[in-house]
Chains A and B, each alone.
Chain A
Amino acid sequence: MENPRSVEELGPGDHACLTFTDPDERLDIVAAFVRSGLDLGHKVLCFTDSVPVDRLPGELEARSVAAQAAIRRGQLAVRGSERIWLAEGQPSARRMVDLLAGQLDLAAREGYPVLRMTADMCWANRPVAAIDQLLAFESEVGELFADGRLAAICQYDRDSFDAVTLAFAASAHTRAVAATVYHEDPIVRICRQHSPPGVRVAGELDFTRAEPLTHALAESLRLDHHIHVNLAQLRYIDAACVSIIIQTALGLPDDRRLMVTCHGLVQEMFSLVDAGEIASLRVQAAHGRA
């Protein structure tokens, strides 16, 4: 398979495999896929498992996807993967392919030109499940993509599946999707955030990683209107890196903003330099944290 693509590059006819270890990164890519589908007038179907059905819409909303409104108008549907697969006791690849084919026809009858589907596959590791049926599904479902009316991202948690299963699953897809990572080492990870668009940094950040931070912010400055800097998973930042973020905000024209999401020590660092007084910068507490 070719090199992984960014989620923005996926479109009708793509059957993409997302292997992930960071749950935030998975939800970011899923949110971007759902959001662009909704924007383009596609029908969107989310099969979820590790994130419960009743929680996924909230997770999408937190990532700038108007999920509740889309559910109400019938453009977005959220279902439990396990319930669908194990509805008749034993998982069956053929039944799932037929079910998806039915959804594709339904979407067409409802007037949607394309169906976007994303599915969390971690249910397949439950004792009752059968990996062979999941892998058969991944092979057989390929036929549904032929006429360019279906786009899909299948999500595989690298910590849940063994390497052989992952390799087989990956080979059954025509595309791999991955986050754009600007920098990664054991201390810090700097990657692109797709929804809302910007940069996500996790770990600890100091001046020794100023260069990849500057590069990531410069790319967001070029690509995005408002810049969202997600530091919710960042435990430490030094004054040099706070200054780089402030400089980026100060360089924005009047109609653009840089939004920082953070908590704890990182939030205190922004308070200590009176970041609140900068008009183009917003610092907000991370969702669900003090």
Chain B
Amino acid sequence: MVGPETHAHRDGPAAGPAGASLDQPFGPDDLYALRAAVAAHATHLGAPPDRVAHLVIVAGELVSNAVRHGGGRGRLRLSRVDGAVRCEVSDEGPGIPEPERAGTRTPSVLAVGGRGLFIVRRLAASLTIRNTGRGTTVTALVAVPEQ
């Protein structure tokens, strides 16, 4: 059994039952490889193509926030939970102000930024933002029915 804290298999998605997961540290140069890993693991975790795309978008935006505003580095974990794939991104940045409200309002068409979390909230069944004092952990659940 591959547990949620294990590292990704070096040469592709870890073989194993539905609990298999990806646990990957990242920096600014790892985004392309990370998206590819999320797509491969999401497929392996039973997500159909449209949900794989949603997970790639969600992971991409959370990782982008961590790199740009959260100290430049972080850690991504992907795992199967009941009825969903869980995507957790943690960083050691200063935290997201007003975490309950971040991304809840439709950004003005004139807004230069601020669309990332809004998009994540539209695609995720739930989103939790936790400022821990040592950084931020954002957890999104993307609904993926059991096979």
Contacts and interface: CB of A to CB of B under 8 A. Distances in A.
Given A238-B60, A265-B57, 4 more contacts: A236-B35, A238-B61, A272-B57, A273-B107
Contact of B64 (A207, A247, A250, A274): A207
Given A204-B32, A238-B116, A250-B109, A272 B122 contact: yes
Interface in A242-290: 242-243, 246-247, 250, 264-265, 268-269, 272-274, 277-278
B91 to A, nearest CB: 15
Given A206-B31, A240-B116, A265 B53 contact: yes
Interface string B59-70: 011001000100
Given A239-B64, A265-B53, A272 B123 contact: yes
A187 interface: yes
Interface string A181-198: 000000100000000000
A274 B53 contact: no
Interface of A: 187, 204, 206-208, 236, 238-240, 242-243, 246-247, 250, 264-265, 268-269, 272-274, 277-278
A187 B31 CA distance: 10
B147 interface: no
Main secondary structure of the interface of B (DSSP, over half): helix
Contacts, number: 56
B87 interface: no
B115 A243 contact: yes
B119 interface: yes
Task: Assign chain B's interface to a size class.
Answer: 20 to 34
A242 B115 contact: yes
Main secondary structure of the interface of A (DSSP, over half): helix
B64 A238 contact: yes
A283 to B, nearest CB: 14
Contacts of A273: 107, 115, 118-119
A269 B68 CA distance: 20
A81 B91 CA distance: 59
B60 to A, nearest CB: 5
B109 A265 contact: no
Nearest to A264: B53
B31 to A, nearest CB: 6
A274 B111 CA distance: 13
Contacts of B61: 238-239
B32 A239 contact: no
B119 A206 contact: no
Nearest to A244: B112
